[in-house]
Chains A and B, each alone.
Chain A
């Protein structure tokens, strides 16, 4: 019975991946494909935040800074040192993870609002460094000519080709998050979120696990930043602002913070929402802000919670019909 349920879930997932893999065959607009690529990249950032906030309950408003660190690591390694894209991606991920460790460790003594503000401070300092450390970052002018990844002579230089790199990365990141959530490490993180004192008394080294969450959030954002850099080929500091971190947070909360599918759904929907609202011209971000308030008031557990509620209503009705 439960096995059949699990099998059905896997089949649905496989079907979804199949449809997603075929998407570039039906979507030919470069613009639309670039939106999909970016949506996937943002989904990775938001999943990382989901591990930190959704699983471990630690609020960070520096996700955009880690995205920036990843992007600039990739940009600098490829344009200054002539590295190719793939190792740069690994290095970007590793450096962001290390910065996550460096930021996470001192911040562990803080919680709630204090942690939020310390991470805001870190984010603002990072952006100022990106703007002012001109010898490395080229300042506000940004950094260009970042190469696209390639395998042999096959260059991932179109949005359609890049889409597959993003898809694989999203699936890999979702897999890692899912494995963590459903095993001992994830339970330890959730225990810390639910009640840190009880978690410690149960033998969980809360400090260690919070650091793991910070490092993972950093690594996810670093990978995403690198993916963004190799896709757009040009990066500049204004994309890695506090406001962008807020957008990632809102994506997570709207999607459903403790759920991996919620993180992905929130990122994708809120990334496309401005596109849907584009006919409203300049007022669309305003409507976006209002939508965020409405969603948090009317959908307490995010989109995923809403979908679950709808499904349970539907499922409860079915036995009567059968």
Chain B
């Protein structure tokens, strides 16, 4: 295969776009993990469910519960509406799947988030049926030409929004009281509670924030594929892999891990094998775990005897 700089550039943009999605979802994992010490296996449904809600209000006609509805609201309004709904969703999720189990170790929470994931995927199928649904994009054209490059504007939007969100998150964590409380909760809940942080509320906010990250990822990625009940699952698994590659619990690790997996996967799928493209993330993951179990940015923590 000859070396084609234009093709490689296009692959890089597309890889960074996918990587941005993984990074956003990975951030959601890491924030929840840091706050409550468990992995949320329903994170993928934080991506899938809002995408369905969005298409419901966006499309000129869509079948919901077997009835055809014609809302077709303006796209920005729909985005805002979905974000507001997902705030409630995050609160409810915390209340049902995490809060009752918070003192019982990580395994029961993992099981309950798996239960919620099964519930939501099949609820989606019941409500919207099993046909893939196309989500309209903000853009009228699929690709634009930048010099010799043909680039999807959606890719650029994804990269741009992710960059803004990451900047926002650094601002939130470094400059605001809320962010500092979130960090304190993540580092040491007992101490955070002692210094007056209302840990329960911070945990709820963390779930909401994580749900919103998932929502934004869903709204960004859905126009590139279709909306299906399975759309979130693989993204979430790869994002989880990305967060471990980066160093679990590390925010820069989640971002770098996500981008790295997106780019390597895109190039690997093009140059090596498109059939095994979904294996690439996990091969990277397993290799990293074997060579450097703490991940790229993680610190090896010696267990105290």
Contacts and interface: CB of A to CB of B under 8 A. Distances in A.
Interface of A: 59, 106-107, 109-110, 112-114, 116-118, 120-122, 124-125, 128, 131-132, 197, 242, 246, 249-250, 253, 282-283, 285-286, 288-293, 296-297, 300
A106 B119 CA distance: 34
A289 B120 contact: yes
A296 B285 contact: no
Contacts of A132: 275-276
Contact of A242 (B118, B237, B305): B237
Nearest to A293: B115
B48 interface: no
Given A118-B289, A289-B117, A125 B279 contact: yes
| For the complex of A and B, 3 pairs with smallest distance between CB atoms | A121-B282, A289-B119, A289-B118
A296 B115 CA distance: 9
B119 A293 contact: yes
Nearest to A128: B279
B114 interface: yes
B289 A110 contact: yes
Interface in B35-90: 39
Nearest to B284: A121
B193 to A, nearest CB: 24
Size category of the B interface is 35 or more
Given A120-B237, A282-B125, A297-B112, A125 B248 contact: no
A118 to B, nearest CB: 6
A106 B290 contact: yes
B282 A122 contact: yes
A107 B244 CA distance: 14
Nearest to A124: B282
State the main secondary structure of chain A at its contact with B. Answer: helix
A45 B233 CA distance: 24
Nearest to B123: A286
B116 A289 contact: yes
Contacts of B97: 293
A112 B101 CA distance: 17
A132 B276 CA distance: 8
A292 B97 CA distance: 11
A178 B254 CA distance: 43
A8 to B, nearest CB: 33
Contacts of B233: 242
Contacts of B283: 121, 125
A197 B233 CA distance: 35
A101 to B, nearest CB: 16
Contacts of A110: 289, 293
Nearest to B120: A289
29 contacts: A109-B293, A110-B293, A113-B39, A114-B244, A120-B237, A120-B240, A121-B241, A121-B286, A125-B282, A131-B275, A246-B114, A250-B111, A253-B108, A282-B125, A283-B123, A285-B118, A288-B122, A289-B118, A289-B120, A289-B121, A290-B119, A292-B111, A292-B114, A293-B97, A293-B115, A293-B119, A296-B112, A300-B104, A300-B108
Specify which of A113, A116, A282 lies most central, judged by the most chain B CB atoms within 10 Å of its CB.
A113
B127 to A, nearest CB: 10
Nearest to A113: B39
Contacts of B122: 282-283, 285-286, 288-289
Contact of B278 (A116, A124, A282, A297): A124
B126 interface: yes
A300 B107 CA distance: 11
A9 B286 CA distance: 46
B4 interface: no
Nearest to B285: A121
A296 B119 CA distance: 14
B106 interface: yes
A117 B240 contact: yes
Interface string B284-305: 0110011001000000000101
Nearest to B130: A282
Nearest to B304: A197
Contacts of A59: 107
B100 A297 contact: yes
Contacts of A246: 114, 118
Given A59-B107, A253-B107, A293-B112, A114 B289 contact: yes
A249 B114 contact: yes
Contacts of A116: 39, 110
A246 B111 CA distance: 9
